[in-house]
Chain A
Amino acid sequence: MSTAALRVVEREARVFRRLWRGTVFSAFVTPVLFLAALGLGLGGLVDEGGGRVAGLPYLVFVTPGLLAATAMQTAAGDALWPVMVGTKWARTFHAMVATPLRPRDVYTGLMAWTALRTTLAATMFLIVGAALGGVPSAWGLLAVPAAVLCGSAFFAPLAAYSATQHTEVAFPLIMRLGVMPLFLFSGTFFPVDQLPGWAQPVALASPLWHGVELARSATTGTFDGHSVIGHVLVLVGVLALGWYAGTCSWTRRLAG
């Protein structure tokens, strides 16, 4: 990352100092509430009913799922409306590229900033998850980079897309028809092999599933070398393609 992009991170951090309350709520309080309700409350029912999910107590199963899903939601939210604010509503990005910053620096800088925030949120979530008993292995620390990688794999292509948009009408639809279904069906709350046959390949194609599986390997400390490499490759691949598309679309939008 260039030092120019770091300037963008600095700017976002300054803004954040004023608006941290809302972010803390959506990035931290909400996932913890989900963990308590579904991990503990519903988990109690699951464990009573039939025992284990994929060989794990339900709380242990669902904690890494929520961790990766939270990273996805934070990153997706950051990649939509704030981009519209910067390119159209307040035009702050246009002001940035009037300085030595290039469009790709702005884009990369925002992605770095989001990664920083996901790191923070994932770490806090992991601490709470561990306290509740959802993280049996010390390897669980590796779930943080896994979640951040997963979040970035969503940010890169989505921010590339939103720079091509001139209104925000499609954004709520992306969140509700895209992000929300992924959240609910990517192996977060129940194993994907329970899905009907036609839906399984779809879930496996979702970057979130790869993120959830990586995080789950970490928190449970069970690594299967081949599949770990496979998940990382998929996420890095999506991130790289997204980043390439993003540098193009941001240049077109801001310097075109």
Chain B
Amino acid sequence: MSGLTPTETPTRPEGAVATAIAGWRPLRLVERNVLVYRRTWYVLAAGLFEPILYLLSIGLGVGALVGPVAVGGGREVPYEVFVAPGMLAVSAMNGVVFDTTFNFFVKYKYSKTFDAVLATPLEVADVAVGESAWALVRSGAYATAFLLTMVALGLVQSWWAVLAVPAAVLIGFAFAGTGIAATTWMRSFVDFDYVMLVVVPLFLFSATFFPLGRYPQALGWAVRVTPLYQGVALERALVLGDVGWGLLLHAGYLAAMGTAGVWVATRRLAILLRR
């Protein structure tokens, strides 16, 4: 038992060494989630399953009933080629929404996971950044698996598609930051209906299943400013090899959204957890 006590090193260098090793502290939260999901990896796998099923059902199934889709520049592509990048963006969003809202709520409100974390050298910002970082890992993994599925189905038309994975991570970042920030205002599980109230319309109306041109004009402009649309447009351009400087606008939108989200989340969590 003597090993449990600091008595053998009365000048206490232990703590200082520990702090030095800790390195980038938010990474510890990522490690925690890896430990959790090591046992429940199938939950992660199941999250990828959904966009793939949509690709098969709507993309290939309904796609067989649909003619080629105009994607601008006088170019037309088969429907499944049109839908696939949209589902890629959706998989990146799905990868984070549940973790940063529902799961985050349980951890901060019921399991008091973050109260334990904050009794260690970690700070509130480490929690917000770390949980977002985990979300990026998850979206990156989903996007990679999804992209490989697309390649296998012959739905990728350009080498630019390699950038689809970092783009998906950016989508994940945008939704992670805002997801955590929004969750700090949730009072009970009933409030998660509002999350669905945002996510479901985004999923259905971000030029995912049909092009912008089919929306009534006013609605089309509304869609253009929503976040998932930025992701879908970015992914679609990369996968089709339709690359231009305009894409930086989409990327900038997503980066700004994620940064603002993490910033708000950090401030809110400081109020809630450091009382």
Contacts and interface: CB of A to CB of B under 8 A. Distances in A.
Q: Do chains A and B touch in the complex (CB under 8 A)?
A: yes
Interface in A15-51: 19, 21-22, 25-26, 29-30, 33-34, 36-38, 41-42, 44-46, 48-50
A33 B200 contact: yes
B248 interface: no
A225 to B, nearest CB: 29
A58 B197 contact: no
Nearest to B201: A33
Given A45-B69, A49-B67, A176 B46 contact: yes
A173 interface: yes
Given A33-B200, A44-B210, A45-B214, A50 B65 contact: yes
Contact of A37 (B68, B197, B204): B204
A139 B56 CA distance: 32
Contacts of A46: 62, 65-66
B159 interface: no
Interface in A170-191: 172-173, 176-177, 180-181, 184-185, 189-190
Contact of A194 (B49, B53, B61, B190): B61
A21 B46 contact: no
Contacts of A130: none
B58 A41 contact: no
Contacts of A34: 204
Nearest to A175: B46
B100 to A, nearest CB: 17
A180 B190 contact: no
A53 interface: yes
Interface string A191-230: 0001100000000000000000000000000000000000
Interface of A is mostly: helix
Interface residues of B, number: 34
A200 to B, nearest CB: 13
Contact of B61 (A30, A50, A176, A189): A189
Interface of B is mostly: helix
B64 interface: yes
A30 B58 CA distance: 17
B190 A21 contact: yes
B197 A42 contact: no
Contacts of A181: 53
A111 B260 CA distance: 46
B62 A173 contact: no
A34 B196 CA distance: 13
14 contacts: A21-B190, A29-B197, A37-B205, A38-B62, A38-B204, A38-B209, A45-B69, A46-B62, A46-B66, A53-B65, A173-B46, A180-B49, A190-B64, A194-B64
Closest 10 A/B residue pairs (Cβ) = A49-B67, A184-B57, A37-B204, A190-B61, A22-B193, A41-B210, A176-B46, A49-B66, A25-B193, A46-B65
Interface of B: 40, 42-43, 46-47, 49-50, 53-54, 56-58, 61-62, 64-69, 79, 190, 192-193, 196-197, 200-201, 204-205, 209-210, 214-215
Interface of A: 19, 21-22, 25-26, 29-30, 33-34, 36-38, 41-42, 44-46, 48-50, 53, 58, 169, 172-173, 176-177, 180-181, 184-185, 189-190, 194-195
Given A44-B210, A190-B62, 15 more contacts: A21-B193, A22-B192, A22-B193, A26-B193, A38-B58, A41-B214, A42-B62, A44-B214, A49-B67, A49-B68, A176-B46, A176-B49, A180-B49, A184-B57, A185-B61
